């Protein structure tokens, strides 16, 4: 073991290692909390000064990371946020949690990863561990991150250590927080893997060391492709069963009573979040490079991407049953977050629904207490709009309420009793007994 490795291992074991986290968002902040609770001091990096200022003042901008949590980090002198990338020389371990979106042609966009690793290389010192957590295609760590870090002049595996450990987050699910989710760890080499494994072992209940970065990278892609394909099947069956008069939700409820060989996946208005709508296309991109078709993955992507248009057609059908066109109808979208009970709008299908309905001339509003104002989005031209309060007057003024996200805060009995028409994409109204004639499933 090199002297740099021994020194870093000693700092990890004594919990004196400074943990740096680049990207203070839905992945970075839970990681900071996990390491804080394990007794480590953390230094957070972000290019957004407003985020840095908020965190240093003890304020959070993410619902499941409370102000009290952030204030605790600051009060105990265990956390500081900065925009100064020159300070990347300070942490002993640097965890990269930056976005990895797709281009318009659905190719991986690694600009954030490249910019970040170049910034690290400029100030890197012996005895640092660099871990990429951002979801990406197999080979990114070895072929993109390592060459950038080698520009530092430091020997990888002896002076500078490199690993990949895919982020695993389930926002809104209190049963799974960062510290309780097993962490897969793959290293550029064995010393890098062992050091990364030792570090994560201090902060999470279980680590899963694997033989290479590529295995860890492929693991994350497999996890999300598995979900994408199964959700696509549920969506396709929803369309089929609707045609033949069968309630797909009741079918799934019946099927999931089987104690083996079946896991329930549910249909919806499309896919959201940073992972499932994007990650499978990383794999299909790699496959194209090797001239191997990935028909299953591509087809699943096509089905899931088509769901917002299907929902809009169902809205048109529901309005038509009352003698109304979409154009000029007052439609309220309930839920702009991509998932129940979270404030995360990334890749939410609600934005596509908003866009498609606007193209058809609908008069639009939305209600989502988790997202009080529509944020800017990479993929959509978002109008200036604030969330409406779900009052009796608001609901009575709608020609159609479209349930896109089934937040628990919504009172569905109240909704149906005051609405003229409800289109439900999430089976959120399944327990509503009165006024079921007003409800359309989509």
Domain ranges in the chain are: 3-221, 257-441
Residue 116, SS3 per DSSP: helix
Q: Could you tell me if 32 and 79 are in contact, meaning their C-beta atoms sit under 8 angstroms apart?
A: yes
Q: Residue 291: its pLDDT value, please? A: 83
Count of alpha carbons within 13 angstroms of residue 46, beta-carbon side: 21
- Least Cα distance to 319 among 408, 250, 398, 374 occurs for 398
* Residue for token pair 């619902």: 63
| Contact status, residue 125 vs residue 6, Cβ threshold 8 Å | no
pLDDT at res. 175: 66
Rounded to whole angstroms, how far apart are CA atoms 98 and 56? Answer: 20
Mean pLDDT check: name the lowest of 221-225, 264-268, 275-279, 431-435.
275-279
Which residues lie below 8 Å from residue 432, measured CB to CB, with a gap of 6+? 412, 413, 416, 439
Residue ranges of alpha helices (H) inside 176-294 are: 190-201, 213-243, 248-255, 279-289
- For 179, the token pair is 């510290």
Measure the CA angle with vertex 95, ends 151 and 218; round to 5°. Answer: 90
Residue 170 has a pLDDT of 73
Q: Report the Cα 247 to chain-centroid distance in Å.
A: 29
Asked if residues 128 and 161 have their Cβ atoms less than 8 Å apart, the reply is: yes
CATH topology of domain 257-441: Rossmann fold (3.40.50)
Residues 313 and 357: their CA atoms lie apart, in Å, by 10
Percent of the chain whose pLDDT exceeds 90: 79
Residue found by looking up tokens 């680049």 in the block: 22
Whole-angstrom distance, CA of residue 193 vs CA of residue 183? 12
pLDDT at 161 over 90: yes
Question: Do 3-221 and 257-441 show the same overall fold?
Answer: yes
Q: Could you give the strand order of the β-sheet that contains 160-164, starting from the edge strand earlier in sequence?
A: 79-82, 41-45, 18-22, 93-96, 128-132, 160-164, 183-187, 207-210
Phi, psi of 321 (to 5 degrees): -65, -20
Distance, in Å, from the CA atom of 266 to the CA atom of 154, rounded to the nearest integer, reads 49
Burial class (CB in 10 A: 0-12, 13-18, 19+), 97: buried
Q: What is the mean pLDDT of residues 336-354?
A: 92
pLDDT tens digit sequence for 359-412: 999 999 999 999 999 988 777 788 899 999 999 999 999 999 999 999 999 999
User: How far apart are alpha carbons 29 and 179 in whole angstroms?
Assistant: 12
If DSSP codes are grouped into helix, strand and coil, which group holds residue 388?
coil
Structure tokens at 436: 């079921």
In whole angstroms, what separates CA 257 from the centre of its chain? 29
Tokens 């989502």 locate to 368
pLDDT of residue 427: 97
Q: Topology of 3-221 in CATH? A: Rossmann fold (3.40.50)
Q: 39: closest CA among 22, 66, 17?
A: 17
Q: Helices 213-243 and 279-289, interaxial angle, to 10°?
A: 110
Q: Helix 349-359 to helix 295-320 angle, to the nearest 10 degrees?
A: 50
Q: Is 41 left (phi over 0), alpha (psi -120 to 50) or beta?
A: beta
Structure tokens at 27: 């992945």
Per-residue pLDDT, averaged over 326-332, amounts to 98
Mean pLDDT of the chain: 93
- Residue 372 burial (CB < 10 Å; 0-12/13-18/19+)? exposed
How do strand 160-164 and strand 183-187 relate by DSSP bridges? antiparallel
Is the confidence at residue 286, as pLDDT, over 80? Answer: no
Question: Given a cut of 70, is residue 57 above it in pLDDT?
Answer: yes
Kindly list the catalytic residues.
275
pTM of this structure: 0.89
Give Dmax (Cα) for the chain. Answer: 78
Joined together, the tokens standing for residue 314 give 């169902």
| pLDDT attached to residue 281 | 73
* Beta strand spans in 108-173 (E): 128-132, 160-164
Q: Is the pLDDT of residue 262 over 70?
A: yes
335 phi-psi bin (left φ>0, alpha ψ -120 to 50, beta other)? left
Closest listed residue to residue 170, CA positions, set 160, 180, 161, 162: 180
């Amino acid at each position: 073991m090199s002297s740099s490795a021994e020194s870093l291992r000693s700092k990890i074991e004594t919990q004196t290692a400074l943990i740096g986290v680049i990207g203070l968002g839905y992945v970075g902040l839970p990681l900071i909390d996990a390491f804080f609770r394990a007794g480590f001091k953390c230094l957070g990096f972000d290019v957004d000064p407003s985020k840095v200022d908020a965190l240093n003042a003890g304020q959070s901008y993410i619902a499941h990371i409370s102000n009290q949590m952030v204030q605790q980090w600051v009060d105990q002198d265990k956390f500081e946020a900065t925009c100064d990338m020159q300070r990347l020389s300070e942490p002993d371990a640097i965890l990269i949690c930056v976005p990895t979106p797709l281009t318009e042609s659905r190719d991986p966009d690694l600009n954030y990863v490249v910019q970040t690793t170049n910034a690290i290389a400029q100030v890197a010192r012996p005895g640092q561990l660099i871990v990429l957590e951002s979801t990406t295609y197999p080979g990114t760590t070895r072929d993109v991150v390592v060459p950038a870090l080698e520009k530092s002049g430091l020997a990888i595996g002896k002076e500078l250590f490199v690993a990949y450990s895919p982020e695993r987050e389930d926002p809104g699910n209190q049963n799974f927080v960062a510290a309780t989710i097993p962490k897969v760890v793959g290293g550029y080499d064995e010393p890098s893997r062992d050091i990364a494994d030792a570090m994560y072992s201090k902060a999470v209940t279980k680590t899963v060391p694997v033989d290479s970065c590529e295995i860890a990278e492929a693991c994350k892609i497999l996890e999300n492709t598995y979900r994408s394909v199964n959700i696509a099947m549920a969506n396709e069956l929803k369309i089929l069963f609707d045609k033949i008069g069968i309630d797909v939700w009741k079918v799934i409820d019946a099927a999931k009573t089987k104690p083996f060989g079946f896991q329930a996946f549910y249909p919806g208005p499309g896919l959201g979040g940073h992972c499932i709508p994007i990650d499978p296309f990383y794999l299909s991109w790699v496959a194209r490079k090797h001239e191997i078709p990935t028909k299953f993955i591509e087809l699943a992507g096509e089905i899931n991407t088509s769901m917002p248009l299907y929902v809009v057609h169902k809205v048109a059908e529901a309005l038509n049953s009352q003698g109304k066109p979409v154009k000029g109808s007052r439609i309220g979208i309930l839920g702009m977050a991509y998932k129940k009970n979270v404030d995360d709008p990334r890749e939410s299908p609600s934005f596509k629904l908003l866009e498609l309905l606007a193209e058809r001339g609908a008069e639009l509003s939305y209600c989502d207490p988790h997202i009080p104002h529509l944020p800017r989005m990479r993929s959509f031209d978002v109008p200036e709009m604030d969330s409406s309060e779900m009052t009796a007057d608001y609901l009575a003024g709608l020609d159609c309420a479209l349930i896109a996200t089934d937040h628990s805060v919504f009172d569905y009995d109240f909704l149906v009793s005051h609405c003229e028409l409800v289109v439900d994409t999430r089976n959120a109204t399944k327990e509503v007994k009165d006024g079921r004639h007003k409800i359309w499933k989509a």
